[in-house]
Amino acid sequence: MKEKGQIFVITAPSGAGKTTIIKNILEKDVGGIGYSISHTTRKPRKGESHGLHYYFVDRENFERMIEAHEFVEWAVVYDQLYGTSISSINRELSSGKDLLMDVDIQGSQEIKRQFPDSLSIFILPPSLDILKERLQKRSPNDKMNIDLRLKKAAEEIQRCRDYDFIIINDDLKKAIKEIEAIIVAQRANKNRRLPLIKKMFRL
């Protein structure tokens, strides 16, 4: 007997370390957890591959998928489209696989609406000053973009109280361990485990 999979939604301001944290958790393979691969219209960054990090599609194909209601959520982020396929989520959950989902605030709200049992995790930087330093290292010659991202980050941080868990990424290893602990603990949560227990012991 298999338990139905669990969704773990992870949101963070740009530069807070979300991508690095998710990468480390997936590499550790915490009990076979998987990653929900999103569709996007943006160009691949260095080291990214189609079907591994994202499904890179053009705007025309993305808009066709919107019209066909194929996304559980989709959003415009810095003029690019991002979306998560409903069919891929249901396929993974039905197989008993847990899923990490990397989405923005708007997307996390929609996922929570359609999958009420999902858990949401917000990753914070140690401070806005440190976040600015990280963004400057990433794009040293793009002040306008950095200012835009900092403004958006300040707005997003105000919403962290809406999440089930808040992680402060002032120490990468510690942040990773905290999220791993959330994943492991949730697997023993009675609301998730009871349906299986009822079948096993005919309760």
> Could you tell me how many residues make up the chain?
203
Whole-number Å distance between alpha carbons of 104 and 11? 6
Instruction: State pLDDT tens for residues 113-138.
Output: 999 999 999 999 999 999 999 999 98
- The two tokens of residue 186 are 């949730």
Whole-number Å distance between alpha carbons of 164 and 152? 21
Instruction: State pLDDT tens for residues 75-113.
Output: 888 899 999 899 889 988 988 889 999 888 988 999 999
Average pLDDT over residues 146-155: 94
pLDDT of 2 > 80? The answer is no
CB 122 within 8 A of CB 30: no
Report pLDDT for 161: 97
Q: H/E element holding 7? A: strand 7-11
Report pLDDT for 142: 86
Whole-number Å distance between alpha carbons of 51 and 89? 15
Percentage, residues of the chain above pLDDT 90: 67
**What DSSP state is assigned to residue 4?**
P
Report pLDDT for 96: 87
Average pLDDT over residues 18-25: 94
Query: How many separate helices (H) and strands (E) can be counted in the chain?
Result: 8, 9
Report pLDDT for 115: 94
Question: So where are the chain's domains?
Answer: 7-201
- The two tokens of residue 51 are 């079907």
In which residue are the tokens 């591994």 written?
52
pLDDT of 170 > 90? The answer is yes
Whole-number Å distance between alpha carbons of 162 and 105? 9
3-state secondary structure at position 152: helix
Q: According to the CATH classification, is domain 7-201 in 2.60.40.10? A: no
Strands 165-168 and 34-35: unpaired
Report pLDDT for 1: 61
In which residue are the tokens 């995790």 written?
121
Q: Which residue has the higher pLDDT, 3 or 47?
A: 47
Whole-number Å distance between alpha carbons of 49 and 172? 24
Q: 146-182 in b/e burial notation, b at 16+ Cβ within 10 A? A: beebbeebeebbeebeebebebbbeeeeebbebbbeb
Report pLDDT for 203: 85
Instruction: State pLDDT tens for residues 25-79.
Output: 999 877 779 888 889 999 999 999 998 889 999 999 999 999 999 999 998 888 9
Query: Which residues sit opposite 120 in a β-bridge?
Result: 9
3-state secondary structure at position 102: strand
